[in-house]
Amino acid sequence: MSRGGYILRRLVQMIPVLIGVTIIVFLMVHLIPGDPAAAMLGDQATDVSVARVHKELGLDKPLYEQYFYFMRNLAELKLGDSIKFRVPVSSILFERLQVSLSLVAVTVLLTIIISLPLGILAAIKKDSVLDNIVRSTLMVTMVMPSFWTGIILILLFSIHFRLLPVSGYGSNPVQHLVHLILPALTISLGLAPILIRSLRTSILDTFRSDYIKTARAKGLEERSVMTVHVLRNALIPTVTLLGISIGFLMGGTVIIEKVFSLPGAGSLLIDSVSARDYPVVQAATLIFALLVILVNLATDIIYSFIDPRVRYG
Amino acid sequence: MTTVEAQASASSLAVASARTRPPWWHRALRSRNLMIGIVIILLMLAIGLLAPVLSPYSPQKPDYSVIIQAPSLSHPFGTDAFGRDVLTRVMYGARIDLRVGITAVLSPFIIGTILGALAAYFGGVVETIIMRILDIVQAFPFIVLIIAVVAILGPGLNNMYIAVALTAWVVYARLIRSEILVQKEQEYVIAAQAMGASNWRVMLRHLMPNTITSSIVYSMADIALYILLAASLSFLGLGAKPPTPEWGALITEGQAYMTTAWWMSTLPGVAIVITGIGLSLIGDGLSDLLRPAGR
């Protein structure tokens, strides 16, 4: 199969997943125990207001018809109105999403800066003291609850050393970046162990392959063996892993935005859960899933370009 | 080859080479990781169970004469805003968090194993349906889906179990499916089928014992994951409610006093980290133990 065919097949495969995701998100409101309208209104539920919400959400129509409306609105990017804020969900969500995506971008950058040198060092100096320190440190950072890590980083860098802001997002791009450093570092400490472990293993595997032995036998300098042959091949699974980790990353932002009071889509999701603002919960859940699907697709496509050995089977 | 497939072929080799190696308990006793991990977890369990004997304080009753005191000999982890001994609360928390982790892993393990086995063994429409549902569930970030389910059902640890059962089975289904896909072409399975063994018999007597090990190894790391998840949900206000001394809830309570009383939020986290390390060591040790010799 050609690359074009492969990409086309991946796109077709995506369709049932997309439909399934929209069905789950659509059904969320219907799975609320009791009357969803009453649940959304909470203490303010009266017969009149419940009837109004029923009408607004189309809850009085048959299920398939509701789903049809839901999908039609989705196609026009209409995500409903927030019950709490009384404005269209899209107007809040997309603004908040920019914060979350910036956080993801800074996190990815930091993770690469941390993982690359440590993974390479751990592999080159296999079984050395350094390798053991890196590996045992990773075992610890991997099981640290991210919000706890965040609190410790705040105690250390913001309260003790007074280097970085405790929380918030600032008001201009430079301040935004400064406010994102600690949250991004927090998520990185959870993600980097996975990448470093994978990078170390794939470098060690590459060392054992025949073409590396050939390159060395040819008398190539160790430095160029490392950069030209080993790294190029060892990086491929690592990049893929980073792409696959987007779910972990997006999930991480939800908790970390709460720790650092960042006005992102994740903290919007949590606040909306507490406020029973279901249209926002639905929309945020949907957007998170769509982002994961898109990034996974992009990873597969990029992978098919960077690794010539990929078989489109 | 994916890692899952690699593990699958690895464990099939393990079966072949098992006879020439020392018995498993012999190797288990010599596995440093496994032993250290087991000791850590047993200690945590003991601390949780013996908390009333080990500590002179109550985990819940306020004592306003000693509020917000820094760690000292009489209160090694300090006291909180209600004058409760933080170490005592952490010790009682071990009961909650270990139970939550172990309970949470059971249903995804069982559901995933059954669905994965059905998909791999029967193939065809059954497999397509199960694998498509799996793709859909995996499209959501795990924590987001858990939060969504908890949003629908309401906060609390019991609803977390339901959320985990609904979402986390996919990993086990994938694991067991790839194992069975390898094993079902093996001669012993074909022989059993040829001798007229029923599908159930082939599955339960022959396939399951040879394919379940990697899921068991994975479930150890998973227990740690659910302890982290329960802690995170408490932090987000969707899990255990105060004054329950769940570890995540303790960290969250302490966050409000971060600037004045560092011990309240930092020290309970240490319990989570130690438990997590114990479980990872058990997982690593088990996977070494079950890995074929010479690799």
The interface predicted TM-score (ipTM) is 0.87
* Average pLDDT score over chain A: 87
Amino acid at B9: S
CB contact under 8 Å between A143 and B238, yes or no, is: no
* Average pLDDT score over chain B: 88
Instruction: Give the pLDDT confidence score for residue B48 in this predicted structure.
Output: 96
Query: Is residue A25's pLDDT more than 90?
Result: yes
List the one residue out of A88, A90, A96, A81 whose CA is nearest residue A40.
Answer: A81
Helix axes B213-235, B86-122, angle to 10 degrees: 130
Q: Which residue has the higher pLDDT, A49 or B245?
A: B245
A96 part of a folded domain: yes
Q: How crowded is the C-beta side of B214, counted as CA atoms within 13 Å?
A: 27
Query: Is residue A238's pLDDT more than 90?
Result: no
| Phi, psi of A64, deg, nearest 5 | -65, -35
Query: Of A39-48, A143-152, A241-250, B178-187, where does the model show the most confidence?
Result: A143-152
Specify the CATH number for the domain of residue A180: 1.10.3720.10
A126 part of a folded domain: yes
| Number of structural domains chain A divides into | 1
With an 8 Å Cβ cutoff, is B65 touching chain A? no
Query: Based on the number of CB atoms within 10 Å of its own CB, is B61 exposed (0-12), middle (13-18) or buried (19 or more)?
Result: exposed
Instruction: Give the pLDDT confidence score for residue B20 in this predicted structure.
Output: 63
Average pLDDT over residues B30-59: 94
Query: Based on the number of CB atoms within 10 Å of its own CB, is A20 exposed (0-12), middle (13-18) or buried (19 or more)?
Result: middle
Secondary structure in 3-state letters for chain A: CCHHHHHHHHHHHHHHHHHHHHHHHHHHHHHCCCCHHHHHHHHHCCHHHHHHHHHHHCCCCCHHHHHHHHHHHHHCCCCCECCCCCCEHHHHHHHHHHHHHHHHHHHHHHHHHHHHHHHHHHHHCCCCHHHHHHHHHHHHHHCCCHHHHHHHHHHHHHHHCCCCCCCCCCCCHHHHHHHHHHHHHHHHHHHHHHHHHHHHHHHHHHHHCHHHHHHHHCCCCHHHHHHHHHHHHHHHHHHHHHHHCHHHHHHHHHHHHHHCCCCCHHHHHHHHHHCCCHHHHHHHHHHHHHHHHHHHHHHHHHHHHHCCCCCCC
A15 part of a folded domain: no
Residues of chain B with C-beta less than 8 angstroms from the C-beta of A142:
276, 280
Residue B197: which residues within 8 A CB-CB, separation 6 or more? B205, B206
Which residues pair with residue A88 across a beta bridge?
A81
Average pLDDT over residues A222-235: 80
Is B94:B52 a contact under the CB 8 Å cutoff? no
Query: Token digits for B252?
Result: 């969250």
A243 part of a folded domain: yes
The distance of B13 to chain A (nearest Cα, Å) reads: 20
Q: Which residue has the higher pLDDT, B13 or A98?
A: A98
Query: Token digits for B253?
Result: 């309570």
Instruction: Give the pLDDT confidence score for residue A258 in this predicted structure.
Output: 93
Average pLDDT over residues B49-64: 93
Instruction: Give the pLDDT confidence score for residue B224 in this predicted structure.
Output: 93
Instruction: Give the pLDDT confidence score for residue A236 in this predicted structure.
Output: 81
Instruction: Give the pLDDT confidence score for residue A293 in this predicted structure.
Output: 92
Query: Is residue B111's pLDDT more than 80?
Result: yes
Instruction: Give the pLDDT confidence score for residue B137 in this predicted structure.
Output: 93
A12 part of a folded domain: no
CB contact under 8 Å between A270 and B248, yes or no, is: no
Distance CA B214, CA B291 (A): 10
Q: How far apart are the first and last CA of chain A?
A: 7
Q: pTM for this structure? A: 0.87
Average pLDDT over residues B129-154: 91
Q: How many residues does chain B have?
A: 295
Long-range contacts of A71-74 (CB under 8 A, 24+ apart): A71/A22, A74/A22, A74/A286
The distance of B288 to chain A (nearest Cα, Å) reads: 16
Instruction: Give the pLDDT confidence score for residue A313 in this predicted structure.
Output: 45
Give A63's pLDDT tier (boundaries 50, 70, 90): confident
| % pLDDT > 70, chain A | 97
Which residues pair with residue B85 across a beta bridge?
B79
Of B140, B258, B279, the CB nearest to A151: B258
A55 part of a folded domain: no
Query: Is residue A104's pLDDT more than 90?
Result: yes
Query: Token digits for A305?
Result: 């370009």
Of B152, B251, B262, the CB nearest to A148: B251
CB contact under 8 Å between A151 and B151, yes or no, is: no
A71 part of a folded domain: no
Average pLDDT over residues B91-104: 95
Q: Which residue has the higher pLDDT, A210 or A272?
A: A272
Give B183's pLDDT tier (boundaries 50, 70, 90): confident
Question: Which residue has tokens 């959870």?
Answer: A190
Give A278's pLDDT tier (boundaries 50, 70, 90): confident
Query: In chain B, where are the structural domains located?
Result: 103-295
Alpha-carbon distances, residue A72 vs A17, A80, A92, A120, B248 (angstroms): 18, 12, 20, 50, 41
Instruction: Give the pLDDT confidence score for residue B294 in this predicted structure.
Output: 40
Q: How crowded is the C-beta side of A272, counted as CA atoms within 13 Å?
A: 31
Query: Is residue A55's pLDDT more than 90?
Result: no
Query: Is residue B168's pLDDT more than 90?
Result: yes
By C-alpha distance, the chain B residue nearest A266 is B144
List the one residue out of B215, B139, B129, B142 whose CA is nearest residue B175.
Answer: B215
A36 part of a folded domain: no
| Phi, psi of A86, deg, nearest 5 | 60, 35
For the ranges A91-105, B63-77, B210-224, the lowest mean pLDDT is seen at B210-224
Cβ neighbours around A8 below 10 Å, total: 12
With an 8 Å Cβ cutoff, is A293 touching chain B? yes
Amino acid at A292: V
| % pLDDT > 90, chain A | 39
List the one residue out of B123, B169, B124, B164 whose CA is nearest residue B143.
Answer: B164
The distance of A85 to chain B (nearest Cα, Å) reads: 18
| Phi, psi of A81, deg, nearest 5 | -110, 145
Distance CA B235, CA B252 (A): 5
Query: Is residue A59's pLDDT more than 90?
Result: no
With an 8 Å Cβ cutoff, is A301 touching chain B? no
Give B206's pLDDT tier (boundaries 50, 70, 90): confident
Distance CA B191, CA A93 (A): 59
CA angle B118/B139/B222 to nearest 5° reads 65
Give B295's pLDDT tier (boundaries 50, 70, 90): very low
pLDDT in tens, B234-276: 999 999 988 899 999 999 999 989 888 999 999 999 999 999 9
CB contact under 8 Å between A289 and B141, yes or no, is: yes
Alpha carbon A39 to its chain's center = 30
Helices marked H in chain B: 3-17, 24-30, 32-49, 51-54, 86-122, 124-139, 142-153, 157-167, 169-183, 187-194, 199-201, 208-211, 213-235, 247-255, 262-290
- CATH for B103-295, among 3.30.1330.60, 1.10.3720.10, 1.20.1050.90, 2.40.110.10? 1.10.3720.10
CB contact under 8 Å between B140 and A21, yes or no, is: yes
Residues of chain A with C-beta less than 8 angstroms from the C-beta of B273:
140, 143-144
For the ranges A156-170, A171-185, A216-230, B110-124, the lowest mean pLDDT is seen at A216-230
A·B CB contacts under 8 A? 135
Instruction: Give the pLDDT confidence score for residue B2 in this predicted structure.
Output: 44
pLDDT in tens, A146-164: 999 999 999 999 999 999 9
Of A21, A148, A248, the CB nearest to B139: A21
Instruction: Give the pLDDT confidence score for residue A17 in this predicted structure.
Output: 92
Instruction: Give the pLDDT confidence score for residue B163 in this predicted structure.
Output: 93
Query: Is residue A308's pLDDT more than 80?
Result: no
Residue B71: which residues within 8 A CB-CB, separation 6 or more? B77, B78, B263, B267
Instruction: Give the pLDDT confidence score for residue B3 in this predicted structure.
Output: 47
Query: Based on the number of CB atoms within 10 Å of its own CB, is B187 exposed (0-12), middle (13-18) or buried (19 or more)?
Result: exposed
The distance of B7 to chain A (nearest Cα, Å) reads: 15
Instruction: Give the pLDDT confidence score for residue B253 in this predicted structure.
Output: 92
Is B261:B68 a contact under the CB 8 Å cutoff? yes
Domain of residue A243 covers 89-306
Instruction: Give the pLDDT confidence score for residue A260 in this predicted structure.
Output: 95
CB contact under 8 Å between B273 and A144, yes or no, is: yes
Query: Token digits for B78?
Result: 């300090």
Q: Give B20's DSSP letter.
A: G
